[in-house]
Amino acid sequence: MSSESPTVAVIGGGAAGLTAALFLARAGLAVHVYDQDRSILKRARLCNLPGHDELEGRELLEQLRGELEARSVTRHEGKVDDVVAGGPLLVKAADGELAADYVVLATGQGTVKLPSLPLETAAPRQPFVKVNVVTDKWGATSVPNVYACGVVAGWPSQAVVCAGSGANVAIEIASKVKGEFWVDHDDTRLGADPE
């Protein structure tokens, strides 16, 4: 990776977007999260998170936001109005413009209104979901260097699934940047007996 880290703009700060941002930051990329703060997690009491009895969705959001702050991820409050492709990806938001090397769409179950972005979309299978952005299994969309994860990418509306899809997209982007498959493991116990 060059001395200047590639910039990734994550649009949407719910389960998928914040998890993508966490993995991207851990991989050493410069990450910006844009969020309107309308995650449906704010209405959820999560009853099926592995390793937890129950967790308020708001609590999960706060924990993730705290982790990102500690990793110097830049948070932008407000809506992204458009993304212009064809060179660096130009993210147009309420607080100004950002030239990004990669964009991750994690906008949840609403409509996607990014008029300049020629995204291939499909009818959603799930209730309450307005549209799905078509991706391959690594989250790549029809627009080069634009990825999608979470409910907008057609994943089941479950926090752990959407978070996992965010991690998946981040691993793909980090692997592209580094030129080899990125594995985010703590290897300090490599070889230790798992007993």
Binding site for ligand FAD (CB under 6 A): 11-17, 34-41, 43-44, 46-48, 57, 79-80, 106-108, 110, 150-151, 157-160, 162
Bin 174: left if φ > 0, else alpha if -120 < ψ < 50, else beta.
alpha
CA neighbor of 64 nearest in space, from 166, 152, 158: 166
The nearest distance, CB 161 to ligand FAD, in angstroms, is 7
- Which residues 6+ apart lie within 8 Å of 53 measured at CB? none
Of the pair 151, 169, the CB lying nearest ligand FAD is at: 151
Of the pair 78, 178, the CB lying nearest ligand FAD is at: 78
Cα 38 to Cα 77, 139, 154: the distances in Å are: 11, 22, 18
Strands (E), 47-111: 55-56, 74-77, 80-84, 89-93, 96-100, 102-105
The nearest distance, CB 27 to ligand FAD, in angstroms, is 19
- Residue at shortest CB range from ligand FAD: 14
- What would the two tokens of residue 62 be? 């706060």
The nearest distance, CB 6 to ligand FAD, in angstroms, is 21
The nearest distance, CB 195 to ligand FAD, in angstroms, is 32
Of the pair 155, 182, the CB lying nearest ligand FAD is at: 155
Of the pair 28, 59, the CB lying nearest ligand FAD is at: 59
Of the pair 37, 136, the CB lying nearest ligand FAD is at: 37
The nearest distance, CB 105 to ligand FAD, in angstroms, is 8
Contact 8, 104 (CB under 8 A): yes
